[in-house]
Structure 1
Amino acid sequence: MSSHAPLGPSGATGTSSERSASDITARLVADPHAAYAALREQGPAHRVSGTDGRPAWLVTRYEDVRRGLADPRLSLDKQHALPGNYAGMRLPPALDANLLNMDPPDHTRIRRLVSQAFTPQRVERLRAPIRRTAETLLDAFPAEGPVDLVAAYAAPLPIVVICDLLGVPESERRDFRAWTDVLVAPDPSRPELAKAAIGGMFAYLTALIAGKRAQPGDDLLSAMIEARDEGQRLSEDELLSLAFLILFAGYENTVQLIGNAVLALLTHPEQLAALRADAGLLPAAVEELMRFDTPAPLSIRRFPLEDVEFGDVTVPAGETVLLSIASANRDPERFAEPDRLALDRAATGHLTLGHGIHYCVGAPLARMETEIALDALLARFPSLTLAAAPADLRWRPSMRARGLVALPVSY
């Protein structure tokens, strides 16, 4: 017998199915880990109301999710969606032509070019600047807490890192962060704000690329402009969409990753104590923290090119598939005692950074940034504690993103 309350049928039809799909989605937002646990027990795939409000199939078990992430039959190209079945974020065509909407061979070509520019050596050169930025942000903390760690640390650190990476001048970063903040947490009652932010970012990135073409610098954007594949440069639209993707994904996910990681440590004092006692545990700890509460519960949506089976559930071609990273990372068939935070766990195999050809190109930077952020914070404040009851913390009301609105801490 299941130890979790049933969330509704996996494949019912009609109005009751629509109500069930909406109910599942609501519970995934309110209490995601409990809801995912119940879904894993009930079946491999479930009808839900997707992140765009349209019907979708949610896949929850580790082996199915891992296989799905690398399955060439699951396309990222929106042209393979059934008409009227999917409605994502509305972006200008130049920003929409990015790696998250592409299949091979275009994906292969552009991914190779990005990898040539996004080298381990370039990432490693960011280590010292990231540490300096982290220390500067901590220097600005008031003498006494509490302070909101999201606003004061987790949010500003990644935007500085991404702007350094892309070569955005310091004098122009305030607008950059304002636009990104609007897009990370859009206000559904004021769609004009998101539209204005996208327009502002589009115009700015267009001008920035033109400037880098005229005067290249020692930054990723200049390197991407210079990158070649069989003698062909990236097009202007491809450059623009890549810059947008690096900015948006690199900022949003890292903010949430740092916030979630700090909360997990503060609510597991024995694990925090173990990390303080052994700094060598930090790399493994970051992997476990990524597994334990991933900032991106769902992979980018996919569209089957043909009917695809997940266990005994058949998902028709063209429908929307959501592969649940958060659920896979807590599947007891893959990770023993998955709801327990264990920093010495061999957490390799978690899917937070993806799997297959769409594995996160910025994975080394994400790991480095999180390690530095945690190391600097814990070294500076040996008595860091949570300044609110965990139940009182507010999470962003989204099935797509797992992040805190604020994280009050005392030190």
Structure 2
Amino acid sequence: MIIKSSAYKYIFLFFYFLVVCALVYNANSLSISYKEAVNFFINNSLLSIITNFSTSLFGQNDLALRLPFLLLYILSMGLMYKLTENFFKKEIDRYVNLAVFCVLPGLLSASLLVNSAIITTFFILLYLYVYKLTKKHCYLLLIFFLFIDNSFAIFFLALFFYSLKERDNTLLISSLILFGISMGIYGFDTQGKPKGFLVDTFAIYASIFSPLLFIFFFYSIYRTGFKEERTLIWYISTTSLFFSLLFSFRQRIYIEDYAPFVIIFLPYMIKLFFHSLRVRLKQFRRRHYLLTSITLFILSINVLLTLYYKPLYLFMEEPKKHFAYKYNFVKELAQKLKEKKINYINSEDEKLLLRLKFYGIEEGNKYYLTTKEQYFYDLKIEIDYLNKVLFTTYLIKENEK
């Protein structure tokens, strides 16, 4: 049965609609983390400006906090759609690329959390789209990138290597100057004792893509570098991957500084896969179909665990080991405190105090709240999931002076 190209579009849009709905639900169910609270209340960064502006418009709640990043995720999908126009041999390949891109675990996480990864992803895709339309490098955007995030230093470095290949002196000098300025503004972290984190970096990349997809990414980078044309996107992704692994020999890296430049290589991976599949006769495609089925199955599991992670708590003896622990329970705790008409607390846990502040629980001296086990207390507050207690706090009424 032959399916029209318009049908692929509507199938993808329905799938994408479900993904966005799941993201909106998750954005509203997460609690603010300590790092996010620092960005919201204390730091004076781009993240602070974005989150404070959003909450001033839509109220101080989790959905408003994360809404700008959801919107950037949606806009990034639109840019990926435009970038891949006339890129694939068949229209179905384009929608397969979009479907995989929209559910990459790393991209889903970036769209839900207050961090710079989705901002970087959006702007790098915007730059590539402008470059595709004009066939020229937009130096105004490059200058603007200096003030967005330190991670664009790796992008300037990639442009430098690309300029050597293209023999573009203007781009060479500009990218080198921008890289130097970026290093001057943000610096380079060399603190701490040298310690290898290469295995950790591989594991994080595997979680961002899903394991088999990351292996195929390595193969695609290698294959394109030696047998295909080395495009600007290849230089960006390869440079980011190389330096992230290189720095991992010495220190733990911030993966959000590198991952956005790596995942943009996905269309080339999808194109290479379909080419490798179609050059073979049907009777010799069995291995490809098997590997594809396994890859999609593992990717689906990763996506489900990213979006519906709470059931994992039921199988863990120590809830703190859950990857989403630092994004849970505080909102529920604030709600229970408000139900008891408690709006002011004191605690030895300053991180918890800052997180509760987002939900309207201010610092005061009437009640003392602690997560350490107590034998004498006035109120015990437990947060559970399907009758399993995951988070416990103890409230002690302080003597009034």
> TM > 0.5 between the two?
no
- Between Structure 1 and Structure 2, the one with more helix by share is 2
Higher RCO (Cα < 8 Å, 6 or more apart): 1
Of the two, which has the highest radius of gyration?
A: 2
Q: TM-score range by the shorter chain?
A: under 0.3
User: TM-score if structure 1 supplies the norm length?
Assistant: 0.22
User: TM-score if structure 2 supplies the norm length?
Assistant: 0.23
